Amino acid sequence: MAIQSLLETLTLWDPARHGSKGLALMLSASSRSDAEHRFRRCEIKDTYPFHYAEDLCRAPGIVDFHRANVVSSLTVRFHQYRSPPMHNGHIKRVQGTPLQFEPKRGERGRFVGRYKSLPAVPIVKGLVMRRQFRRDIHTRTLSELLSRSFVALEWFRFEKTIPLEPYKQTTFDRDFQSRVLPSLPRTLHQFSFTQWEIPKDEIQKTYGLEEEEASKISSYAKALPWEMAKLSHNLEQFCPPWQMDTAAFLRSLIELSGCFEMPESSLKRIVLRCSLKNPFKARRDFESLVMLAAKAALSLPRLTVMELWGTCLDKDESRAYIFRYTYEDSRASIVWRSNVGTMTAQSRIITKWNEVAEKNTHSTLIYDAVSLEETEADIFRSNGTCIYRHLLLKDLVFDPITQIILENEPTQWGFNKMGNYSAFADQGDDDMWDGNGADDDLGSEDGFELDVGAEVDDNLALQQTDITAWQQEIIAAHQASMSGNTA
């Protein structure tokens, strides 16, 4: 199996001969045919040239590359019009079954042997699992890799897509806490864990799930703040999941500080996203979290940066807030950033954080307020991504490539500003779609079998008919819209 061969090769590393710095490994799960079905998205192809931060210096740049290789009217407008036909094989294979190690089967379907034990590879110091791959690696497999192979891991960036079916997310929440967290090596000092949601309209139109059903929080997810608080004590840098209850996490930190069996926290840098639902209560809710964060920070003696941020999207009433505490060059300071003015609870917030500065750093707090130049319309149109660049800890929140993709997706890589989609009316159906929903078999060796599941649509003729009709409907709708704008 490919992963076994890779690990065995990495065991040849000798720090005395090859240096002790180590390497970062990007790990993903995909089928060879995924790129043929996911609207031919360029970022999941083997030829995609952007994998590491240094690749962003390539020419053409990542934005120009995406415009040239992925954008067409059909691809660009996928979420903005409506989802593809229900029986399109693409929809059923968006995520598929998580990749996992399985004993190899013989010709009669019987198990013929166990997979080999995974070798330790201390050369791997960093691990990246990036967002563009919708398929997951099974939590059991991931925990085995973390506990057996990545024994000297120092940092781990884990980005995943939340499954469309709630029961799958419930299973993940359970196994993540019971399998993955206990398997994290003790050498780990930086952990970024981000989960990305499928757009709500896609959930409703494609899978027939109501928003309430799709957004149900499992009992395991409710326990996540406590588990994340315990984990943070052993880390130096931390970005917990966006969907986590931030208030519950901060209260857990406060509660843990009173436990005598807990060691002193090692946490130095942490960034927290705050969920803000109502634009008229957003500032009050955000300020409440800022004051709660000050109470939690009293139990973090090594803290150098704590950043809280949040957006509330509501057209002309959209809001964005950033609060940052830093201790640098023997000075403690807080900065408030917003698109709608200064803090209403300014004196109380300054008082709370001045207590943090005095206790943890024996210094006096410096306060500053800086307005965000982005307008309510900017925040809404960008889906809140326009403020990412203002985050001091953005590199802890996002992989650099993920950040650029997120910032450009709401504007469809700039194409929805250009107003010119006539080019794809000339594209043939064969160039835009591959109606085949079949999944390639990922070969197996050495007693391994990679189990990648995806349901398929066998009625290709019916599928292609629906696809063609959908294309024509989108083109007609766009032409009508352009005609109306011209008039």
- What pLDDT band is residue 201 in, cutting at 50, 70 and 90? very low
Question: Which has the higher per-residue pLDDT, 260 or 132?
Answer: 260
Q: What is the mean pLDDT of the segment spanning 56-77?
A: 72
Range in 203-212, 396-405, 463-472 with the lowest mean pLDDT? 203-212
Rounded Cα–Cα distance for residues 145 and 436 (Å) = 33
- SS3 letters for the chain? CHHHHHHHHHCCCCHHHHCCCCEEEECCCCCCCHHHHCCCCHHHCCCCCCCCHHHHHCCCCHHHHHHHHCCCHHHHCCCCCCCCCCCCHHHHCCCCECECEEEEECCCCCEEECCCCCCCCCCEEEEEECCCCCCCECHHHHHHHHHHHCCCCCEEEEEEECCCCHHHHHHHHHHHHHHHHHHCCCCCCEEEEEEECCCHHHHHHHHCCCHHHHCCCCHHHHCHHHHHHHHHCCCCEEECCCCCCHHHHHHHHHHHCCCCCCCCCCCCEEEEECCCCCCCCHHHHHHHHHHHHHHHHCCCCCCCEEEEEEEECCHHHCEEEEEEEEEECCEEEEEEEECCCCCCCHHHHHHHHHHHHHHHHCCCEEEEEEECCCCHHHHHHCCCHHHHHHCCCHHHHCCHHHHHHHHHCCCHHHHHHHCCCHHHHHCCHHHHCCCCCCCCCCCCCCCEEECCECCCCCCHHHHHHHHHHHHHHHHHHHHHHHHHHHC
Q: How confident is the model at residue 442 (pLDDT cuts 50, 70, 90)?
A: very low
* Whole-number pLDDT of residue 80: 38
Q: Which positions ≥6 away from 397 have C-beta within 8 Å?
A: 192, 194, 239, 271, 273, 388, 391, 403
Q: What is the pLDDT of residues 26-59, one digit of tens each?
A: 887 666 666 565 555 677 777 788 888 888 898 8
Q: Which residue has the tokens 């006539």?
A: 422
129-143: pLDDT as tens digits: 887 666 678 888 899
More confident residue, 202 or 480: 480
At which residue do the structure tokens 């901060």 appear?
Answer: 250
Amino acid 33: pLDDT: 63
Q: Which residue has the higher pLDDT, 136 or 224?
A: 224
The two structure tokens encoding residue 382: 């960008």
CA distance 164 to 204: 10
User: pLDDT tier at 430 (50, 70, 90 boundaries)?
Assistant: very low
Mean pLDDT of the chain: 76
pLDDT at 3: 80
User: For the chain, what percent of residues have pLDDT higher than 90?
Assistant: 40
Q: What's this model's pTM, rounded to 2 decimal places?
A: 0.77
- Contacts of residue 109, defined as CB under 8 A and 6 or more positions apart, other chains included, come to none
State the pLDDT at residue 168.
82
Say which range, 52-66, 192-206, 344-358, has the weakest mean pLDDT.
192-206
pLDDT at 435 over 50: no
Amino acid 86: pLDDT: 42
* pLDDT number for residue 84: 45
Range scoring the smallest mean pLDDT among 104-113, 243-252, 387-396: 104-113
Which of 244, 249, 243, 247 shows the shortest CA–CA distance to 230? 249
Q: Output 40-46 pairs: Cβ under 8 A, ≥24 positions apart.
A: 40/70, 40/75, 40/432, 40/434, 41/70, 41/75, 41/132, 42/66, 42/69, 42/70, 43/70, 43/132, 43/405, 44/132, 44/133
pLDDT at 294 over 60: yes
Average pLDDT over residues 424-429: 35
Structure confidence at residue 388 (pLDDT): 94
Across the range 219-244, mean pLDDT stands at 91
pLDDT tier, 482 (very low <50, low <70, confident <90, very high otherwise): low
- In this prediction, residues 89-109 reach a mean pLDDT of 58
What crossing angle do the helices spanning 282-297 and 346-361 adopt, rounded to 10°?
20
